[in-house]
Every structure is written in structure tokens, then in C-alpha cells.
Structure 1
Amino acid sequence: MPNTIKSRPICGSPVHSVFTGKDKYLRLQKHTISDITPPICENESLFILVNSGRGTITINGVEFPFEQGTFVWLQSYHTFTIKADSDDPLELSICVYDYPLSSFLALREPSPDTVDAIMVALPVIRLEGEYLQKIRDLYDEFEKEDSCFDPGSSLIKVSILGQFSYFFIKHSIRQNQEDQSRDWPLGWQATLYIGSHFAEDITAESVAERFSTSASTLNRELRNISGYNFAHTLNRVRVNIASGALLYEDMSLSYVAEHSGFSSEVAFYRIFKKYTGTTPLEYRKQMLESGEKVYRGMIMSQMLMDVLNHSYASFSSPIDIKDTSKSLYLSESVIRELVQEKFGASYKDITVLTRLRHAAALLLTTNLPVLDIAVNVGFNCSRSFSRAFHKLYQMTPGEYRSLNRGGENQ
């Protein structure tokens, strides 16, 4: 298929911290856009849902329709501009996807499908019907927790962000398979390549050679779509990866530097301070200090992340702490101490909470009988499920479904 997509140049230098910032972690934002934004290049990842309105979003020089049901996952290597039609303002719901709290992608080797979905497939998908309703319900659930700033509420929000990413990846993989023949502009392809090979010893010359062009042409194209040349683009990606890794409890500076692609700790320190205005340790200290109405206490060790990930991945199975202990080769006492120290709860409490949140989503988005839902999320019988559900929500599963679905007779 011939390349019919041409890069759209940005107008002006990119701005930062429009939708991100220390006070916006784990918070739902709602924005109305009635004109056009300046070019934006955030240092965090964002989920954006268009609730109403019509317009366009231009990402790394490529324009996409932006209308009701559009769901976007933007990364820190994206420079974007949002434009609303003059007579149809855009109403947006936005969440910062906080990688250190929500994802293993920064520290673990993701599966090939995940790499394809995030790095290759489009950052924009169009949702309709039950798929759109599911994401809306998750945004609504996220918003309900906005008045709480405690570990339990934060855990729920992290789980919702994880569901966003899982949902997006599944749909992006399918969309990517249908879009294999599309030919993208040089700037788009080169930015994705830099974003997925940041840890390697790449140069403008080596990347340009890969795309059968010159380093000067590559730099000109990157500046055209993002305002940054190759070196600046690569350093931004590496600094943003390092920023996430710094917030794990057991990550040494030498490991963070190596993981992020820096040639040495000295280079890491110098470049990090140049791009953030602070040293790595100063950045860590600032980010771990809780701001107003912000909970940042969930920065955790890899070991605890392993425990929580196992709980999330296995919530529909009748697992208990013994199963987790065997699967992760950790003692039960270590697991208990880790969970209790961070969340003030038992491992069983965390597992039950995960199951109940998934059950609530099924009650809102499906017509499955309560018994089927109970079994689906890992309860042995409907009685124990209903009892646990009532304890959390102060109502039965049937009452919850009726109340939140407008009194429908299910």
C-alpha cells in the first residue's frame, strides 16, 4: 500500500504538565476543549476517553478522528495536539497512567504481543456498544474513589488502570492485525523505534540507516512532528523510564541507569538533572512526599508487586496464600508481612477486594445471574459472595445492579 499519510508539522514548541503533575496521580480529570491546544508532550502516560463532541487529535504528526467513544493511550514519546470542531466542543475524561504504581512494563520484559500493541499499534481506538459502556463504567468507578486518599482506595484505582491497559492492549492487538499494510511516515516509525530500543546503543545515524534515510533528514522530521531532534527524543525517553524505576523501593541508581540505557551513572546523573531540574535522588524524595489530596504510598518493592500481580492475574481461581507462596517461591510469612505493612490488610482481604471489584463490573456490564458471577470471580458459592459483597457495598449484588443500571429488571 503506498504511503498516503504525510506528517503534520507542529506549530510552536511543546508544552508540558497540562494533564500531568504530582497532584494528578490517581485522580480523574475532566476537561472541555472548544478550540485547539498547543503541542503537548507529557512526561507521563495518559488514558483519554471522549465523552462527547467532535474534532481531531494529531499524534507525532499523524491526525486521527477524535469523537464520542474514542479511547486513547498516550505515552511520553508522543507529542499531540487536540482540536475541537467550532460548534461541537470536546468533553474528555483523563487519567494519568502511573507506571510505577500500575505496570510491570518499565521493569519487566513484556510479551511480544504487548510490545506490538503498545509500541506498534495505534494509540487510538474507537469503542461502541458494550465495549464503550465497559470503559465508561470503569471511569465512573474510578471517580467514585476520588474522595478517598488511602491505600485501599489507591489499590482500587490501580486495578482500574490495569483494566484500562489490559482492555486497550487486547483491542490494539486486533486492530494492529487488521492494519498491517498501512505505511507510516518516517517520524512516526522512528519515534516508535526509539521508544522500544532506548536501552540499546542507538545513534541518529544507525536509526536513519534502518529507515534508509540520512541522519539530517531524520532529525528534521523528528523536529517537524515533536519539536525535538534525535538526541533530545532519546534522552527524554530514557529519563522518563528512569523516573518510573526510581520510585521502586529496591532499585539502586546503578541499576536504574543501566536499565534506562545510560552509558554510566555519571551520564545518567548529568542528563537526568538537565531534563528534570533535579538529581535522581532529589526527584525520588519529591515524588514520595505526599501532596495535597494525593496518595503516593504505594511505591513498592518488586517482591510485593509480584505478589499483587499474582493476585490480580489469578483472582478468578480459588487461590490462597499457600498457592501464591508456592508459585512465587516466597514464604507465607513474608507475603503476610509485605501486604500488612503496605495496606494494613491481609492477603485474603486483598484477594477478596479484587474479586468483588471485578464482580461489580460484571453486574453493571452483563446480564449474568449472580451465581454465575460468583463462580466467575472465584467464590465457591453465591452465599459467600453475597455476604462479602454486602460487607463492602452495604447492599446485595442484585440491589447494586438495580441501583446502578437505572432500576432495570435483571
Structure 2
Amino acid sequence: MPSNYEPNPPYVSTDYYSEHFHPNELKIVKETIRKSEKLIHRDEIECIYVYGGQGELLINGAVFSFSEGALLLLMPYHIHGFRLREGEVLAIYRITFSIGLLLLTSTNRKVYLQEMKHTYQKLPIMMLNERQKKQVSFSCEEVYWEKQHSSENTDALNLMLISLLVYTVQKNQIIEKEDAKNIRWEILELLQLQHQNQLTLQQIAEQLNLSTKKVQQELRQLTGVGFTENLNRVRMRNAVALMQFEELSINQISKICGYSTEANFYKVFKRFLGVTPLAYRKNGIQQSFVQTRMDAWEIYIYIQRNYKRELQLKTASKELNISEKRINDLLEEAFNQGFKEILLDARLLLAKNLLITLDQTVKEVSQQVGFSDAAAFSRNFKQRYGQTPKQYTLQHKKQRDTCK
């Protein structure tokens, strides 16, 4: 390693973290990083937006360069750490969330592995264009501010941010790098993608044309533990994510996650989580999530995907095959807001973003976010934010000019 780099600790026995997030939980922090990090991996997913500086990221032994405007999507099997030269400084948003929250953005959660497989197999760094930078930066700052200044439940806002980040990842061409996936990366990726099967060490070795001894050696050097423990980690983080879906029994979850017997699943689950699967579902999930029923989340996602239309409650009722009263009851229970309020929130939040990222008139922005009447848009905007759309745009233009 060149001498002008801050040193990384040895790439052996990497630190392993689990914050035991609930399925709908999200944490966002702003960080200034001035030196290289030690290598870690965790149960949760980490999405990092770089809004200042440049550096390199080590992932599973491969090195990736990036600069301001990079979006990094780090899955649990990405063992990673920043590497900085002397004097380099990074400014980032670090968003940490459970696999469970990512599953909520899927339209078909019963086949979640297929839904997420293409994301797992991509290399995890992409560069955003100017418009995307503004959109992601705005959304991160909005969620960060709300979490700092509001005591209210931010579940809906969490899902909005993850939906945007996942959409941005899927839309962008992720940086490809020849030979980036070394043998350690390949082993961890196979564990992730095949954990549902009755997977053995021998099978992994044969797929990679390695000896079983070599696979164990690479895993121990990378993670500090061997094949069985790494496989159980993958299965457990997916099992916890699936606990939120009430239609799946514990027996079904155990089979989905690759366990041949429910007894073995219970044994491993209790060792990792300290409680049985049944106790976890009753206590941990019930208090934080089950009360906000899955139906409410599906309605919320429907609103997020359709708010640009001239959407009405009766239209949603027909398309979702749920009565208008039931829709409002579910949303009130989950988010303390009805259909109209959530729809208005989604439209106004996007409008704030577009007003400062696009060179468009107020009328054009109002039409983009689903308002047929620009006057009604301006009135609602002022009621919510205390200033008209035009005043808001001018204020941010002055702030940008001052910063130049």
C-alpha cells in the first residue's frame, strides 16, 4: 500500500456488527471521515451517499475509487472500509436499515430472493448525475432533519427514502470492474444467493473448483469464522427480515431459509437472537411492526407509486380491491394519517425536490406531482411550508449563490 494512504488494519478476522434493527427501522447520520476505517461487516444494509470529497472503498479485498456524487449500496456480505490518503476528507450520509425494510419495497415479497438477486450480484458503487445528486441529497437531508427534530413516527418517511435509493440503484449503470470479484467475494456471494438450499461446504468448493480446506481458509481469513457460521449468519438475517410477514408461519420461514428441520432452526435462532422465533415474533415484532399491518404498507407503497396521477380514494379502492373506509382505517392506524393526507405529503415532498433541482415553472412542477390546478398546489404548499413555491425556489437560489 502506498505510503500516502492512511493504513487499514489487517484484512483478517473482520469486525462483525448487528444492531438488531426491527424490520421497518432506519438510522441516518451525517459523518465527516478523515482517516481510513477498519474493515467491518454487519447484518444490516448500508447505503452511503458521498456529498463531498473522494477516496477509495475496500470491499471483500477489491479496491474501488469514488468521488463526490457516489452512491454506495453495501449488502451484509460486503466486508468493507474506506481508505483515504493523508489530507483527504469525506462528507457522507450513512443510512443503515434492515433487510426487512428493503423487502417492503418489493411487489412480491413471497419470492423475495428473486426480487433482490440482481441487486446482490451487482457491484455496489454508482455515480449519480447532477439531477440525481440533488434528489438524493434533498431526500437524505429531509429524513435526517425529521429524525433530529421530530418525535413522531417516521416509518413512512423511512420507506420513501429506501424506495428512492433502490429506484436510483436499479436505474443507474453500476460501476463494473474487471476481476473485482475475487475468490472471497465469490464465496460470500454464493452463500447469500444459495442459502435457501441444503447447502454444503463441498458444494461451494465444487462450484468454485476449490478444495473444502481452501474455502474454509478464505472464509476464516476474511470473516474470522468458517462455512457453517457464515451460512447461519446469512440465514438468520433473512429469517428475521421475514418475521414481519404474518402470512408466513415459522415453519415456512425455516424452510425458506434453508433449514431441513424446524427444531434446528429454533436452536440456531435462539443462539443468535437470544430468544425463540415465536418469542421474537410475539414480542419484538408485534410491538414495533405488526400493529401497523402489512395491508397499510401496501397501500402506502401504492400511493408512492401512483401519486403523479390524478389519484382519488375511490380509484385506489377499486384498484386495490379494498373499501374506502378500510383504506383510511388502516392508514390511520399505521401512520396517523388518512389517504388524502398521505397523498398530499408525497406530492408536496417531491415538489420541494423538483423546485430546486429542475429549471421549471411552478405550474409545470405542480403537474408533474399530480396537481391539475396550479393555484391549489400553491395554496397547499404555502399551508405546509409557510411560503409559496416561488418564494421557496428564490430562497434556495439565493442560498446556492451565497455558497458559490
1:381 maps to amino acid: D
Equivalent residue, structure 2, for 1:337: 329
Aligned-pair distance for 1:90?
2.8
Equivalent residue, structure 2, for 1:201: 198
Deviations 1:207-243 (A, max 9, x none): 2222233322222223333333322222111111111
2:61 maps to amino acid: G
Aligned-pair distance for 1:287?
4.3
1:30 maps to amino acid: K
Alignment partner of 1:267 out of 244, 264, 268 = 264
Task: Measure the CA separation in 1 of the matches of 2:286 and 2:83.
Answer: 35
Equivalent residue, structure 2, for 1:293: none
Alignment partner of 2:395 out of 382, 388, 403 = 403
Aligned-pair distance for 1:111?
9.5
Aligned-pair distance for 1:44?
0.6
Pick closer, same or farther for the CA change 1:88–1:57 going to 2, 3 Å: same
Task: Measure the CA separation in 2 of the matches of 1:183 and 1:12.
Answer: 19
Deviations 1:170-220 (A, max 9, x none): 11xx236xx496563222123222212222222222222222333222222
Aligned-pair distance for 1:259?
2.9
Task: Measure the CA separation in 1 of the matches of 2:113 and 2:323.
Answer: 28
Equivalent residue, structure 1, for 2:91: 91
SS at structure 2 position matched to 1:406: helix
SS at structure 2 position matched to 1:58: strand
**TM-score, structure 1 as length reference:** 0.84
1:212 maps to amino acid: N
Alignment partner of 2:384 out of 389, 392, 398 = 392
Equivalent residue, structure 1, for 2:3: none
Pick closer, same or farther for the CA change 1:28–1:404 going to 2, 3 Å: farther
Equivalent residue, structure 1, for 2:231: 234
Aligned-pair distance for 1:128?
4.9
Count of residue pairs the alignment pairs up: 390
1:350 maps to amino acid: I
**TM-score, structure 2 as length reference:** 0.85
Task: Measure the CA separation in 2 of the matches of 1:219 and 1:100.
Answer: 29
Say yes or no: does 1:42 pair with 2:42.
Answer: yes
Task: Measure the CA separation in 2 of the matches of 1:29 and 1:183.
Answer: 29
Equivalent residue, structure 2, for 1:109: 111
Aligned-pair distance for 1:255?
3.0
Deviations 1:312-352 (A, max 9, x none): 11111122233222323323332222112112221121122
Equivalent residue, structure 2, for 1:359: 351
Pick closer, same or farther for the CA change 1:124–1:311 going to 2, 3 Å: same
Alignment partner of 2:186 out of 185, 189, 198 = 189
Deviations 1:281-301 (A, max 9, x none): 4444664598xxxxx558743
Aligned CA RMSD, in angstroms, stands at: 3.1
Pick closer, same or farther for the CA change 1:288–1:66 going to 2, 3 Å: same
Query: Percent identity at matched positions?
Result: 24
SS at structure 1 position matched to 2:142: helix
Task: Measure the CA separation in 1 of the matches of 2:36 and 2:26.
Answer: 26
Does the 8 A contact of 1:46 with 1:75 survive in 2?
Answer: yes
Does the 8 A contact of 1:60 with 1:78 survive in 2?
Answer: yes
2:134 maps to amino acid: Q
Does the 8 A contact of 2:292 with 2:333 survive in 1?
Answer: no
Structure 2 residue runs of 5 or longer lacking an equivalent are 1-7
Task: Measure the CA separation in 2 of the matches of 1:30 and 1:183.
Answer: 29
Task: Measure the CA separation in 2 of the matches of 1:351 and 1:298.
Answer: 23
Equivalent residue, structure 1, for 2:151: 149
Pick closer, same or farther for the CA change 1:12–1:301 going to 2, 3 Å: same
Pick closer, same or farther for the CA change 1:201–1:21 going to 2, 3 Å: closer
Task: Measure the CA separation in 2 of the matches of 1:398 and 1:374.
Answer: 12
Does the 8 A contact of 1:355 with 1:378 survive in 2?
Answer: yes
